[in-house]
Amino acid sequence: MSTSRRHLMAGLLLGLATAIAGAANKPCQGPAYRQFDFWIGQWQVGTPDHTVVGNNRISAIAGGCALLEEWTGADGGSGKSLIVYQPERGRWRQLWADSNGERTDRQGRPGLGGMVLADPAGPGRRGRNVLRAVSADELRQLEQSSNDGGRTWTTVFEGIYRRLPAQP
3-class secondary structure per residue, 1-42:
CCHHHHHHHHHHHHHHHHHHHHHHHCCCCCHHHHCCHHHCEE
In this structure, what are the phi and psi dihedrals at residue 36, rounded to the nearest 5 degrees?
-100, 5
19 and 60 in one domain? no
pLDDT at 20 over 50: no
Q: What is the pLDDT of residues 69-94, one digit of tens each?
A: 999 999 999 999 999 999 999 999 99
Residue 95's domain comprises 35-163
Q: Are 43 and 36 in contact (CB under 8 A)?
A: no
- What is the value of pTM for the model shown? 0.81
Examine residue 168 and state whether it is found in any structural domain, yes or no. no
pLDDT at 133 over 50: yes
Q: How many CA atoms lie within 13 A of 105 on its CB side?
A: 2
Q: What is the pLDDT of residues 108-131, one digit of tens each?
A: 999 999 999 999 887 788 999 999
Q: What is the pLDDT of residues 140-152, one digit of tens each?
A: 999 999 999 889 9
Q: How many domains does the chain divide into? A: 2
Examine residue 104 and state whether it is found in any structural domain, yes or no. yes
71 and 46 in one domain? yes
- Measure the CA–CA gap between 95 and 83, rounded to whole angstroms: 7
Examine residue 48 and state whether it is found in any structural domain, yes or no. yes
57 and 120 in one domain? yes
